[in-house]
Amino acid sequence: MLRLLLLPTVFVGALVASAEAQTIVINPNRPGVLPPAKAAAESVRITVGVSTFTPAPAGDGDAALKAQEDGRRLIYDIAGRECAMMLQTLASDCHIESINVNVQHVPANQNFNGPRGEGYNISGNISYRIVPK
């Protein structure tokens, strides 16, 4: 009989103890730390999307690899120039946060944007963090 009463008591005690162990307290008002809204108001995130086509011969040879590299280089050049342009026009500080480049092979018979032949669609998304002037 004592075992039957002891088993539910131990089970309930374990549940209560595990619930207490999972309690998390977050105090956003610590001295010396800016609230998130004030810190985020100082800077602005800007995202730019770019898309281009690079012609390339069929196959996986050096010319195809060079075409892919040229396309990625173009996206990186645009990323640097865009930051420079923002510094001239609207920002006092500019940092590139991320660059995402996507290279997609397009066979000549699937190029629906005109008679461009075979090549690669190269697209990129560039995220910046700026401080407005």
Averaged pLDDT, 45-65: 88
Predicted pLDDT of residue 18: 44
Confidence of residue 86 (pLDDT cuts 50, 70, 90): very high
How many CA atoms are closer than 13 Å to the CA of 100, on its beta-carbon side? Answer: 5
The model's confidence at residue 106, banded by pLDDT at 50, 70 and 90, is confident
The answer to whether 9 and 84 have CB atoms below 8 angstroms apart is no
pLDDT at 102 over 80: yes
Question: Over 90: is that where the pLDDT of 33 sits?
Answer: no
What residues does each domain of the chain span?
34-132
Residue type, 26: I
Asked whether 118 and 108 are in contact (CB, 8 A), the reply is: yes
CB atoms within 10 A of CB 106: 19
One-letter amino acid at 56 equals: A
Residue 71 binned pLDDT confidence (cut-offs 50, 70, 90): very high
Looking at the predicted structure, is the pLDDT value of residue 120 above 80? yes
Mean pLDDT of the chain: 78
Total residue count of the chain as it appears in this document:
133
Is residue 60 over pLDDT 90? Answer: no
Q: What is the pTM of this model?
A: 0.63
State the pLDDT at residue 16: 47
Is the pLDDT at 64 greater than 80, yes or no? yes
